[in-house]
Chains A and B, each alone.
Chain A
Amino acid sequence: MLVYLLRRLGFLLVSLVVAMSVIFVLLRLLPGDPANALLSVDATPEQIAAARAQAGSDQPLAQQFLTWAGQVARFDLGESYISTLPVAPEIASRLVVTIPLTLLSFALALVLALLAGITAAVRADRWYGSLLSGFSQLGIAVPVFWVGIILVWVFALGLGVLPSGGFPRADWAEPADALRSLTLPVVTIALVMSASLARYVRTATLDVLGSDYLRTARAGGSGLGEALLRHGLRNGAVPVVAVLGIELSTTLLGAVVVESVFTLPGLGSMLLTAIEQHDFANIQGVLVVSTLFVLLVGFLADVVQRIVDPRLRTSVSGNR
């Protein structure tokens, strides 16, 4: 297991370096220049040159990359070209919004998906079983910003019980206020996310329901609920954990869109603004951090899968 972990971590590091190179090169292929964001419509050639020097876009590409890679290796993400603020603390202040948003959404989505998926499988013959299946189909087709707009319309503009957007200036100093601000965004992401998750849960549950061990357990006198909890959950979990890893990463991406609908000062809105302003330092910083997040989640999902299912562990030992 230790060798596996080390090998897996090495792979993670290599992936990160490859991703960084791709991010860097792709950004430079975009037309335009970061210096433009600093300029007005009557800029002189000297002003343009000065702005390019400030933005660093007058340096050769290789040098720009080496400078940046060196910084990242020292856990320094550089300074924004536009605002001159250091990137890393800015990202940290955005994560205060994005991490709770992602995790809460994911947790709620998981609860909803388990409830809906298991119900849809166990009660496939009832009207609400089919209704839930139908809803999850619909949920997969609906764009996340559209769900956000509907929720704002009902709960913020209609009933007036929740804010339509924004985040408290004091961040989490008043946790209740912060949670209020996150309620609609979290529900938005969770509704959409749970729709696709519920389908996996339903399929996994159906597999378990048709299995021999469950039939045996029930023949031994267990009720359906008890049999599912005792034997079904663990067996059904393996494929679901793999999917969960991917879904958690997707939740982060969903947060990007939702943050702009709800004006949340998170990583997503930082990325959008940075792209608009062509602020390479900020774009690269956000992408590196979110790539790292996705890679770490994948890593954890692999490890958890191995813990849940001993058979996977054996196969690795066999390879050794």
Chain B
Amino acid sequence: MRSPLALAATVLASALVLAGCSSAGTTADGGDSADATVSIGSLYEPQNLSNTQGGGQGVTEAFNGNVYEGLYKLTDDGEVEPLLADSAETSDDGLTYTIALRDDVTFHSGKQLTSSDVASSIEAVTAEDSQSARKSAFEVISGIETPDDQTVVFTLSEPSISFLYNLSYVWIVNGEAEELTTSEDGTGPYTLGEWKQGSTLTLDRWDDYWGDPAANAEVVFTYFTDATAQNNALLTGEIDVITSVQSPDALAQFEGDDAYTVSEGTSTTKELLAFNDRVAPFDDPLVRKAISSAIDTEKLLSSIWGDYGTLIGSMVPPTDPWYEDLTDVNPYDVDLAREQLAEAGYPDGFTFTLDTPSYDPHPAVAELLQSQLAAVGITVEINTISADEWYTKVFQDRDFEATLQEHVNDRDVVWYGNPDFYWGYDNADVQQWVSEAEQAQTTDEQTELLKKVNEQIAEDAASVWLYLYPQIVVASSGLTGYPVNGLNSQFFAYDIVKS
């Protein structure tokens, strides 16, 4: 009898050859770039399609500015610009904002944008059952009036200098639309094509868009759970760009290759070692300062990110207006750390439990911290928990000593003004400055006050701000017009040109 092995080999080989032949027809993507389909690889699939029902950062990435638009927009450079707002007037006391809407805007359903849609969109964010991360920012609104179809008047209970900035996070949704967790009705340059859960989300260019039409015909977000699979898809041409590379290991294969562009922008994501400032020994600023000084953040950053990323000495990333370099406030100095520990009453160190989310990069960071803190006599017991458990144990129950977490938003230093926040930092001066900053008359005044906040929390070592994540976008070199900074996980797709 003829060898079955040979037969098996022949069958396999022919299958592969056949498969190889059929590939030639499917990769061709000729034609005008305006008709191009742009494939975007992302690790953040939306959980649902609403940003007031906890859709997560994925829905922001895919929809913000693409499908839905706000009255204002936060540009990739961190500037706030009018979008659906035509003009705005502020009363002298800073308590009344009168905003005129553009009159040429329609929703994807064909309905004209009116002031009542704006009112209902804001109300959806502030509603009792809203899961919006921005809900608390709008508590200051005491009334919304719509004197005519094109005008919205906001009345505030106290001045809020961030008001227009905060409006940039609110999607204006057709007030009559339903099923917003699975469908959409926005005013953006794209409509939702198809959402195949676990796989892809497609956006189609909308021909009746009020502004400049999108530079491409279709955008496909392809979702990955595994970064290696995502990189492979870019290498084999199945996707055109990766919105945000989460591990530097794979970058070498793109950096040396002309077929790809690696760009490093600025992110707003900070890696924090957050203490529970309510419990001993972390209620003593000296202990927190000692830990800050015992950690070689430079070495930590290069271990995790190689040559990428930025060191920050406070909660503030360089794109926030009140950034200043505070990396020297608690310098890396092991001798200083030992002195401070002795002064605080812990000459032989102590032991604490570090609750570590189970996903990258936290476990690796935890181990590096463990070995560095051992050098000053502090024993770190690593307790790895799921993201979900973190939320219950650390965030809600405050049942922790110290924890690792990444905080993604810009302008979030103000959380140190809330003594009820999970880390429990409690400083009356800081609380007052944060509150005064929000009610400031000018941005200069606001900036001045928030700089004082930065300096104080750094001086108190309220947390250890380990590093700022790099924002790395890798694209095939034929692609242009994509955002490189991607603040707050937004990813405007409408300027992307594929040649």
Q: Is A59 close to B, CB under 8 A? A: no
Q: Which of A32, A84, A94, A269 contacts B386 (CB 8 A)?
A: A32
Say yes or no: A47-B135 contact (C-beta < 8 A), given A31-B386, A38-B54: yes
Q: Which residues on the A side are within 8 Å of B8 (C-beta)?
A: 111-112, 115-116
Q: How far is the CA of A46 from the CA of B236 in the complex (A)?
A: 47
Closest CB-CB distance, A287 to chain B, in whole Å? 16
A161 to chain B, nearest CB (A): 4
Cα separation A19 to B447 with both chains bound (whole Å):
60
Number of A-B residue pairs, CB cutoff 8 Å, is: 186
Q: Mark A31-44, 1 if CB is under 8 A from B, else 0.
A: 11100111111111
Q: Which of A2-10, A61-69, A271-279, A298-306 contacts B (4 or more CB under 8 A)?
A: A271-279
Contact of A37 among B22, B54, B128, B236 (CB under 8 A): B54
Q: Mark B338-353, 1 if CB is under 8 A from A, else 0.
A: 0000000000000000
- Residues 1-54 (chain A) with a chain B CB within 8 angstroms: 31-33, 36-44, 46-48, 50-51, 53-54
Which residues of chain A have C-beta atoms less than 8 A from B422's C-beta? 41
Q: Which of A36, A41, A53, A164 contacts B238 (CB 8 A)?
A: A164
Q: Which residues of A contact B23 (CB under 8 A)?
A: 160-163, 180
Residue A139 CB within 8 A of the other chain: no
Question: Is B53 part of the contact surface with A, judged by Cβ < 8 Å?
Answer: yes
Instruction: Say whether B225 contacts A269, CB under 8 Å.
Output: yes
Known: A93-B196, A94-B198, A183-B15. A273 touches B45 (CB 8 A): yes
For residues 191 through 210 of chain B, which have their beta carbon under 8 Å from a beta carbon of chain A? 194, 196-200, 202
A166 touches B233 (CB 8 A): yes
Q: Tell whether B130 is near chain A: CB-to-CB under 8 Å.
A: yes
Are the CB atoms of B182 and A83 closer together than 8 Å? yes
Query: In the bound complex, do residue B5 and residue A157 qualify as a contact, i.e. CB atoms below 8 Å apart?
Result: no
Could you tell me the dominant secondary structure of chain A's interface residues?
helix
Q: Mark A257-297, 1 if CB is under 8 A from B, else 0.
A: 00011110100011011001110000000000000000000
Q: Are B20 and A162 in contact (CB under 8 A)?
A: yes
Residues A224 and B197 in contact in the complex (CB < 8 Å), given A38-B131, A43-B131, A261-B229? no
CB pair B5 A132 closer than 8 Å: yes
1/0 per residue, CB under 8 A from B, across A131-173: the answer is 0100000000000000001001001110111111111010000
Residue of B nearest to A117 (CB): B4
Write the nearest CB–CB distance from B474 to chain A, whole angstroms: 15
Q: Are B131 and A84 in contact, CB atoms less than 8 angstroms apart?
A: no
Most buried by A among B19, B405, B407: B19
Residue A213 lies at the interface, judged by CB distance under 8 Å to chain B: no
Contacts of B56 in A (CB 8 A): 37
B140 to chain A, nearest CB (A): 15
Q: Which residues of chain B come closer than 8 Å to A47, judged between CB atoms?
A: 130-131, 135
How long is the Cα–Cα vector from A37 to B390 in the complex, in angstroms? 11
Counting chain A CB atoms within 10 Å of each CB, which of B387, B391, B421 scores highest?
A: B391
Residue of B nearest to A94 (CB): B198
Using a Cβ–Cβ cut-off of 8 Å, how many residues does chain A contribute to the interface with B? Answer: 71
Given contacts A83-B47, A128-B5, A162-B20, contact A40 B392 (CB under 8 A): no
Chain A residues within 8 Å of B200, by CB: 169
Question: CA A111 – CA B10 in complex, angstroms?
Answer: 13
- In-complex Cβ contact of B229 among A31, A90, A165, A179 (8 A): A165
Quick one: which of B130, B136, B196, B421 has the most chain A CB within 10 A?
Answer: B196
User: How many Å lie between the Cα of A5 and that of B200 in the bound state?
Assistant: 43
How far apart are the CA atoms of A128 and B53 in the complex, in Å? 61
- The reply to whether B196 and A162 contact each other, CB–CB distance below 8 Å, is no
Known: A165-B238, A263-B233, A272-B225. A84 touches B135 (CB 8 A): no
Q: Residue-by-residue, is B2-41 near A (CB-CB < 8 Å gives 1, otherwise 0)?
A: 0111011001100110011011001000000000000000
Q: How far is the CA of A83 from the CA of B224 in the complex (A)?
A: 18
Mark interface residues in B367-397 (1 if CB within 8 Å of A CB, else 0): 0000000000000000001111101110110
Check if A225 sits within 8 Å of B53, measured CB to CB: no
* B226 contacts chain A at the CB level, 8 A cutoff: yes
Contact A36 B1 (CB under 8 A): no
Query: Does A85 interact with chain B (Cβ within 8 Å)?
Result: yes
Are A40 and B54 CB-contacts (below 8 A) given A82-B48, A83-B182, A169-B200?
Answer: yes
Closest to A122 in B: B1
A194 (CB) vs chain B CBs: closest residue? B8
Residues on A with beta carbons closer than 8 Å to the beta carbon of B1: 223-225
Residues on B with C-beta less than 8 A from A94 are 198
Complex-state Cα separation, A129 to B469, whole angstroms = 55
8 A Cβ contacts from B213-237 to A? 220, 222, 224-226, 228-229, 232-233, 235-236
- Kindly state whether residue A119 has any CB partner on chain B within 8 Å: yes
Residues of A within 8 A of B415 (CB): 42
In the bound complex, residues from chain B placing their C-beta under 8 Å from that of A54 are 53, 129
Q: Which residue of A lies closest to B200 (CB)?
A: A169
Least Cβ distance of A104 to chain B in Å?
11
Instruction: Decide yes or no: A169 and B229 within 8 Å by CB, A83-B47, A115-B5 being known contacts.
Output: no
Which residues of B, 404-445, contact A by the 8 Å Cβ criterion? 405, 407, 415, 421-422
Knowing A50-B129, A183-B19 touch, does A265 contact B136 (C-beta < 8 A)? no
- Min Cβ gap A283→B in Å is 12
Contact residues in B for A119 (Cβ distance below 8 Å): 3-5
The answer, among A132, A152, A167, A183, for a CB contact under 8 Å with B199, is: A167
A44 touches which one: B16, B136, B194, B405 (CB < 8 A)? B136
Q: Which of B7, B22, B54 contacts A51 (CB 8 A)?
A: B54
Known contacts A37-B47, A263-B226: A163-B388 contact under CB 8 Å: no
B181 at the interface (CB under 8 A from A): yes
Q: How far is the CA of A119 from the CA of B130 in the complex (A)?
A: 65
Interface contact B26-A177, CB-CB below 8 Å? yes
Residues of B within 8 A of A273 (CB): 45, 198, 225
B238: which A residues are within 8 A, CB to CB?
163-166
Which B residues have a C-beta under 8 Å from some C-beta of A? 1, 3-5, 7-8, 11-12, 15-16, 19-20, 22-23, 26, 45, 47-48, 53-54, 56, 128-133, 135-136, 181-182, 194, 196-200, 202, 220, 222, 224-226, 228-229, 232-233, 235-236, 238, 385-389, 391-393, 395-396, 405, 407, 415, 421-422
Known: A84-B181, A270-B197. 9 other contacts (CB 8 A): A31-B393, A40-B133, A115-B8, A116-B5, A156-B236, A165-B233, A180-B19, A262-B229, A276-B387
14 example contacts (A-B, Cβ-Cβ < 8 A) are as follows A32-B389, A40-B131, A42-B415, A43-B395, A82-B54, A83-B182, A111-B11, A157-B236, A164-B238, A165-B238, A166-B199, A167-B199, A260-B226, A261-B229
